[in-house]
Structure 1
C-alpha cells in the first residue's frame, strides 16, 4: 500500500512538500560517497597520475574509518555521531601514519591498505555483533 502525500499550505501561503517515498536522497548520497571513496583507494593503490588521486584518496582516508566508527553509534544524535566519527577517522589515520613512520615502512599504498584493513575489521565486528544480538533475541522468544 502506498501513501500519497499532499502539499500542505502553510499559514503564510507558501506550499511545503511533506517527505515521502522517492524524495529521500540518503541512499543515493551514500552510494556516490562509496563510489568516490572506492575510486580514491583504487587510484592511490595503482599509483595513478590522475589529478583526482589526491582529493579522492583523502576522501577515502576520512570516509572509510568514519563509516566504520559511526556504525556502532546509531543511538547518538546525528550531529554528534558525525563529529565523533570524523574525529575518530582523523585519529586512526594519524595513528596509522605514525606507526608506519616509526617502523620506517611509510608508503601511500601501505597507508591506504592499513586504513582499509582497520575499517573493514571494525565494520565486520559491528556486523557480527548485530547478528549475534539478533540471534540471541530470537532464542529468548
Structure 2
C-alpha cells in the first residue's frame, strides 16, 4: 500500500509540474487530471476520518469534483482562466484543507 501511495504522489506531482511548466507531452493531460482529482480528494478524505471507507471515498471524490468545478467557475467568472492558475488554485485549496485538519487534530491532542 505505501508503494501505491508513493506512485500516486509521483504521478500527481509530475502532472502538476507538467501543467505549470507548460510542457508539451502526451502525459500532461492524464497526469494533470489525476492531480486535480487526487489532491482535493486526499485532503477531504483526511477531514472525513470518521466515515466508513466506501462513504469516505465517495464523499472525497465528489468533494474534489466540486472543488475543481468551483475553481473553474470562479476563474471563468473573472475572465482569468489558465491551466497553471487552476492547478495553483486547487493546490492552495487542498493545502488549506489539510492545514485545517492538522490544526484541528493538534487541538484535540493538546486538550487530552
Q: Give the alignment's TM-score, normalised by structure 1.
A: 0.78
Q: Offset at 1:72?
A: 1.4
Structure 1: how far apart are the matches of 2:68 and 2:50? 25
| 1:1-141 equivalence runs, <5 A | 26-137=1-112
Structure 2: how far apart are the matches of 1:132 and 1:77? 23
Size of the alignment, in residue pairs? Answer: 112
SS of aligned partner of 1:74? coil
> What CA deviation, in whole Å up to 9, does each residue of 1:51-92 have, x standing for no partner?
100000000000000001000111111111000000000010
Higher helix share: 2
Q: Offset at 1:35?
A: 0.8
| Residue segments in structure 1 that go unaligned for 5+ positions in a row | 1-25
Q: Offset at 1:47?
A: 0.2
> What CA deviation, in whole Å up to 9, does each residue of 1:99-137 have, x standing for no partner?
000000000000000000000000011011111110111
Structure 2: how far apart are the matches of 1:58 and 1:34? 13
Moved over 3 A (4+): none
| Residue segments in structure 2 that go unaligned for 5+ positions in a row | none
Q: Offset at 1:41?
A: 0.3
Structure number with bigger Rg? 1
RMSD (Å) for aligned C-alpha atoms:
0.6
Q: Give the alignment's TM-score, normalised by structure 2.
A: 0.98
Structure 1: how far apart are the matches of 2:48 and 2:2? 19
